[in-house]
Structure 1
Amino acid sequence: MALEWLELLPPWLLAGAGMGVVLTLLVAGIFVVGDRLFPAPPTDRSRRIDGTDRRRAEIRQYLGAIGERYVEDATVHEESVAFYLPERDVAVTFDPQAYFRIERAGTAAVLCEHEMPGSALGRRLPFDVPGAGTGSGPTTAGGPSVGAAFSHLGLQPTADADEVRAAYRRRVKDVHPDQGGDSESFRRLREAYDTAKEHAD
């Protein structure tokens, strides 16, 4: 029965299907042989840093930069939190449910998303942070201070995100290496833009 159906098909279709099968097997064979001759090196999973670890490191660095004492992996009102600021009675957590329970219990809580840069924590803390909104104070991850970043873009620290973006686009035309600028000036402008963007209103 199957042979009768095959006889009804045009010869060029059968030849094309046969060549497709042969080429597929040939390519698969090449990959198998290549994998045996040149095996991929094993992945070192111990060096992998996930988003939570990165955010924790950034928050540690930020709290150290503003001189705030903290306890990591503390228990507050029977909830485990990433950071606790004992002098301010403030809990910093990545868990939304813990955030609401801690708030209801009377302790100030800050919810950090896994994507939030550690330097943005200052805008959420329920107390005045050195440099928050004024442009003075700590630097962010090795970059310029907040005030220096806005100044580099020719803006006031109260500028919003659209103003920061527009100022960057104006300045980048002068300093980009493709426009006759140098790579160092472009790097400094890029760092200023990244810092100002995180702190823009």
Structure 2
Amino acid sequence: MQSDPVLVLPWWLVVGVLVGLAIGVVIAAVFVIGSRLFPDDERTDGGVNATSRKGTEIRHYLRAIGEEFVEDYDLNGQPVAFYLPRRDVAITFDARAYFRIEASDTYAVLVEHEMPSIHLGRRLPFETPELTTRADDGETTAAFALLGLETDATESEIRSAYRQKVKRVHPDQGGDPETFRRVRDAYTTAHAHAADREGEATAPATS
């Protein structure tokens, strides 16, 4: 009985396959490490965390103008991010929800993730007080201080400082979860402040 011939691969082919596998493992490791060092809080693509950050900015704005609001409100079966009960105004990030609410008696406001929160006042159906930059706001000053920045830092500088800080405090890197939370909150506050300042600088003058 004749045995089957043994398949012998050229040495260069075996080496090539092994090198390719090694490169694949290295690339995968880089992506895993990157996702841990720079978590999704940095996302600005309109995803869940971008929505969370914009919600924080709007919350600060509504408090600054002294407006009562309810978050994650169920409006006749339609969930909205913010509802102003005294004004019957619904604020949403969802275009489909916006058009549904617009067909009712409730005034609907659609907010894009890239819109500075200070511009929300222009879309509300009532007069809102003019807000100046929040450089002297204690919470804002503390947020910039935690990131090691001055309150006139740019959005780019804020992102860079956040990334450097998060490398040291992220729980996956042995950091303290509470410190990591405070750094994230500081980033949200500082980013909102810088976006508002930039919005004020580029806003057209009114007569």
User: If the length of structure 1 is used for normalisation, what is the TM-score?
Assistant: 0.52
Q: Map residues 1-80 of structure 1 onto 2, 5 A cutoff.
A: 24-25=16-17, 27-28=19-20, 30-31=22-23, 41=33, 43-44=35-36, 48-49=40-41, 50-80=49-79
Q: Which residue of 2 aligns with 1:99?
A: 98
Equivalent position SS for 2:60: helix
Q: 1:34 to 1:78 in 2, by over 3 A?
A: closer
Q: 1:199 to 1:76 in 2, by over 3 A?
A: farther
- State the 1:32 CA deviation: 6.4
Q: Which residue of 2 aligns with 1:176?
A: none
Q: 1:26 to 1:125 in 2, by over 3 A?
A: same
Q: Percent identity?
A: 41
Q: Is the 8 A contact 2:119 2:199 kept in 1?
A: no
Amino acid at match of 2:127: D
Q: Is the 8 A contact 2:90 2:109 kept in 1?
A: yes
Aligned equivalents of 2:98, 2:33: Cα separation in 1: 42
Q: Deviations over 1:62-100 (max 9, x none)?
A: 111111110001122331111001111111011222222
Q: Deviations over 1:88-143 (max 9, x none)?
A: 11110112222222222111110112332322211211111111xxxxx243xx45
User: If the length of structure 2 is used for normalisation, what is the TM-score?
Assistant: 0.50
Q: Is the 8 A contact 1:120 1:198 kept in 2?
A: no
- State the 1:40 CA deviation: 5.4
Aligned equivalents of 2:80, 2:31: Cα separation in 1: 43
Query: Can you give the 5+ residue segments of structure 2 that lack an aligned partner in the other structure?
Result: 1-9, 42-48, 138-149, 157-193
Q: Is the 8 A contact 1:70 1:85 kept in 2?
A: yes
Q: Which residue of 2 aligns with 1:194?
A: 198
Q: Which residue of 2 aligns with 1:122?
A: 121
Amino acid at match of 1:31: I
Aligned equivalents of 2:31, 2:201: Cα separation in 1: 44
Equivalent position SS for 1:80: strand
Equivalent position SS for 2:113: coil
Q: 1:100 to 1:127 in 2, by over 3 A?
A: same
Across the two proteins, how many residue pairs are aligned to each other? 138
Query: Can you give the 5+ residue segments of structure 1 that lack an aligned partner in the other structure?
Result: 1-17, 132-136, 146-183
Q: 1:75 to 1:193 in 2, by over 3 A?
A: closer
Q: Is the 8 A contact 1:79 1:98 kept in 2?
A: yes
